[in-house]
Structure 1
Amino acid sequence: MGNGFYIWENNYSRALQWAKDKKARGTLENPSVVGVIYQLEYCLDFTDSQFIDLLPIYFDLLKADLHTAGKDFPRNKDVKVRGSWK
């Protein structure tokens, strides 16, 4: 798994193990586990198949809009300082 953050729903033990593994490998100096309460309301809920099925449709619409506007498709970028949000 790459840079970023990960969510283990209802699995604090797994999240803590992930942080400990990152520290042991030396890939993160100060790995952390943060508890989060989130509520999905007006968004694409990818835990629900009806929303997953919409993704290709909206992807194609976005691609067409960007093409019409003469813009490139956005790309993810790595953080400049590995293991840091600075």
Structure 2
Amino acid sequence: MATSELLYSSDPGLIIGFHGCDQDIRDRIVMHQTMLKSSRNKWDWLGDGMYFWQNNYERAFYFAKSPPPNVKIKTPAVLGAVFSLGNCLDLSDQRFIDLVKLSYDSLKQSATSEGTKLPVNKNSVGDESSADKVVRALDCAVIKNVHKITAQTKQPAFDTVRGIFIEGSTLYDGAGFNDKTHVQICIRNPNCIKGFFIPRKQVSWS
């Protein structure tokens, strides 16, 4: 059976994700007064879409407390969401890892033939020594090109993109674990979102 015929390329259930933002925006989204906007920066790690940390409230709140320079947050807060992945470009799935590599090769070939340079992943200003290269213009371009190839070949559009990121410092000498490792999901199709909520604390019960 060809891999394109398989039905197991994404999680079939519902997923909880968290998005760091200003409290006013969170409250208005939960009250259906506005909708979460898609991020469209040229350096977004997974391309255009609405970003969530999968099952990771702490990272979302950290982002809200320490946002990048282009994001203004007055009162840090976390927006919760329940969503499905739909047709997911899952970067933990070998077939989609191969597709992303194909996308890069395509971009590189085009740049060579046109005499242009590909964008690059780089560190933010003032953090040049980091190994994480958080300004990921190359990765963003490669993911966007995947969607372009998908459209050109008349394949179903991807509703979401999911990536596992090994980020930060190692937990201890010789470790294979890093202190900022996380799963990030970019939702392109807003219909994947089933609902928003304000995260609540656990209460004691008997």
Q: Normalised by the size of structure 2, how large is the TM-score?
A: 0.25
More strand by share: 2
Point out the structure with the larger helix share.
Answer: 1
